[in-house]
Structure 1
Amino acid sequence: MNNEFAAELLERVRKSKPLIHNLTNTVVTNFTANGLLSIGASPVMADAVEEAADMAKIAGAVVLNIGTLTAPKVEAMILAGKAANAAGIPVLFDPVGAGATPYRTESAKRILSEVNVDILRGNAGEIAVLCGQSIQVKGVDGGGNADMRALAKEASETLGVTCVITGAEDVVFGKESFSVQNGDPILTTVTGTGCLLGSVIAAFCAVEKNYAKAAAAALAFYGVAAERAVEKSGHNRPGTFAVEFLNELSLTGKEAIMKKAKIEEL
């Protein structure tokens, strides 16, 4: 996959404005909604058990994010995920903090067992736990020094998903495999950037059925936007960066992706 394809996918997102149904954590709903609006997608946050399935049926993609976990949310996620499966709508699962507590791990595994997850996005610690490996997870931040490429490949094959592991290098394994090396460390200082990334990947998957290519394109776009934002904000102003990042998610286009995206096929 070349940079031109990634740029073309962004244009498809902006043209089609897919509805992204986010069953996500309460910490990031506003940032996620604004970020999706910035890229040209349409966000909706509907996690009530009574309507989650109905909303999923009309979405372009569904995001399940267990950042702030409750029993009713898990039920709503499973209902939404099953409805999306029945309608052929892509489901992205972000197992935030899997491994931190037994309940969180059990809930993540339950979602994977009851919903046909298309894209699994997490850090190395979260993905390792779901593959049955023992890696320490502190809070919702992953730990461990696993070989990310091997881990992503294992998760893709054993769980039957397109696996996206994010870190200093972002790795995608699915029908095809990619490494993406865009972004900036300041992203880790702003709450919600990882969760928003999952929703942006979902938006790209809403317009491209090769989920590995869609995820790699989304990662590159997201990283390039972050690099452009930090050029304006500086490296020590996370508040300013957050604003500039939303701006750059809107302003970053084909030319920037063609010039700056760092996508490698593995």
Structure 2
Amino acid sequence: MNADLIKDVRRNNPLIHHLTNQVVMNFTANGLLAFGGAPVMAKAEKEVAEMASAADGVLINIGTLTPEELPAMIKAGISANRKGIPVVLDPVGVAATDFRKDAVKQLTEEIQFTAIKGNAGELAHLVSTPWEARGVDSVGDGDAKEVVQSVAETFQTSAVITGKTDFIYTDGNLYTNDSGHPLLGKITGAGCLLGSVITACLSTGYAAKDSLLTAVSFYGHAAEFAAQQHNVAGPGSFLPMFIDALSLDSAQLLERKI
């Protein structure tokens, strides 16, 4: 974890343009604010290119995708590519329906993504690797290391597989992260918010390795910190403590001290 990178995020307060799913908008906005970024949620096709051009990063998340939103996502991604800012794809539940599969195919054909993140089942589907999934969840087993590398090489991007162990493949190298807590799997939108934090870290200009490892490591340590607070009894009380933890610095998280 690069503490200086996190300080840069908080000093620069990057504007992250979200085209994300309806379920997680409020949680994502509050989580990014706590971490140090500035969220904006804009999905109208008439404004997305302009909004993306004013932003420091763009996150595209297909969790509650509609046919009307897909052209807007493409326009935002193209605008971000033209500006040279990071664009992150979260292909939520891509294996669940043909509509999602076709949408992600269009997105990856039209946009050069800086990073693609998702669970193992989602990323496995992108490279036609068999992996059992149920809705938006990955429930099967396989070689996540092989999948994350294949996604990165196929789409010429960095790739992140989240899970008990996170796998990151960028610039020809594989990295892992083991920080985190099972309660993250008991709240809606934990992976979606991570996509936002990743986009904010990528906006700093640090190497992709530093940005991605810092994002997933900090996020996991924040979850660990929140879970061990004496007033956390389950997912409901964990969630606000997790938001609080995202606002702390890395030393506080590692020392488990406020």
TM-score, length-scaled by structure 2: 0.95
CA distance in 1, matches of 2:230, 2:152: 37
Give secondary structure in 1 for the equivalent of 2:23: coil
Aligned twin of 1:198: 195
Q: Pick from 238, 242, 247: which aligns with 2:239?
A: 242
Q: Over aligned residues, Cα RMSD in angstroms?
A: 1.5
Structure 2 residue 195 is matched with structure 1 residue 214: no
Alignment identity in percent?
42
- Is residue 2:39 matched to residue 1:43? yes
Matched, 1:232 2:209: no
| 1:90 alignment counterpart | 86
Measure the CA separation in 2 of the matches of 1:72 and 1:209. 35
After TM superposition, the runs of 4+ consecutive aligned structure 1 residues lying more than 4 A away are: 233-236, 257-260
Name the residue aligned to 1:180. Answer: 177
Deviations 1:7-31 (A, max 9, x none): 1111110111000000000000000
Specify the alignment match of 1:61 in structure 2.
57
Cα-to-partner distance string for 1:98-120 (whole Å, 9 max, x where unaligned): 11111111111111111111100
**Contact in 2 for aligned 1:94/1:121 (Cα 8 Å):** yes
Distance between the aligned counterparts of 1:233 and 1:45, measured in 2?
34
Equivalent-residue separation in structure 2 for 1:258 and 1:38 (angstroms): 18
Question: Any conservation in 1 of the 2:132–2:141 contact (CA below 8 Å)?
Answer: no
Tell me the distance in 2 between the aligned counterparts of 1:217 and 1:93. 18
Tell me: CA distance 1:234–1:106, structure 2 relative to 1, closer, same or farther (3 Å): farther
> Is the 8 Å Cα contact of residues 58 and 80 (structure 2) preserved in structure 1?
yes
CA contact (8 A) 1:7 1:257 kept: no
What's 1:20 paired with?
16
Residue 258 of structure 1 deviates from its aligned partner by 6.0
1:160 aligns with 2:149: no
Q: Aligned partners of 1:125, 1:181: CA distance in 2, in Å? A: 19
Range moving further from structure 2, 42-51 or 133-142: 133-142
5+ unaligned residues in a row in structure 1: which ranges? Answer: 261-266
CA distance in 2, matches of 1:73, 1:88: 22
Q: What is the letter of the counterpart of residue 153 of structure 1?
A: Q
Q: Which residue identity is paired with 2:226? A: A
Counterpart pick for 1:73 among 69, 81, 87 = 69
Secondary structure at 1:135 match in 2: coil
Question: CA deviation digits over 1:186-221, x for unaligned, max 9?
Answer: 001000111000000000000034223201100010
> Are 1:255 and 2:232 matched, yes or no?
no
Change (3 A) 1:183 1:45: same
Q: Which amino acid aligns with 1:144?
A: G
Residue 113 (str. 1) matches residue 144 (str. 2): no
Q: How many residues align?
A: 255
Displacement of 1:163 in angstroms is 0.2
Q: Is the 8 A contact 1:220 1:257 kept in 2?
A: no
Q: Which stretches in structure 2 are left out of the alignment for 5+ residues?
A: none
Report the Cα distance in structure 1 between the residues aligned to 2:148 and 2:124, rounded to whole angstroms: 9
For residues 16 and 123 of structure 1, the distance between their equivalents in structure 2, rounded to whole angstroms, comes to 30
State the AA in 1 paired with 2:95. G
For 1:171, the aligned partner's letter is: F
Name the CA distance, whole Å, in 1 between partners of 2:212 and 2:68: 29
Query: What TM-score does the superposition give when structure 1 sets the normalisation length?
Result: 0.92
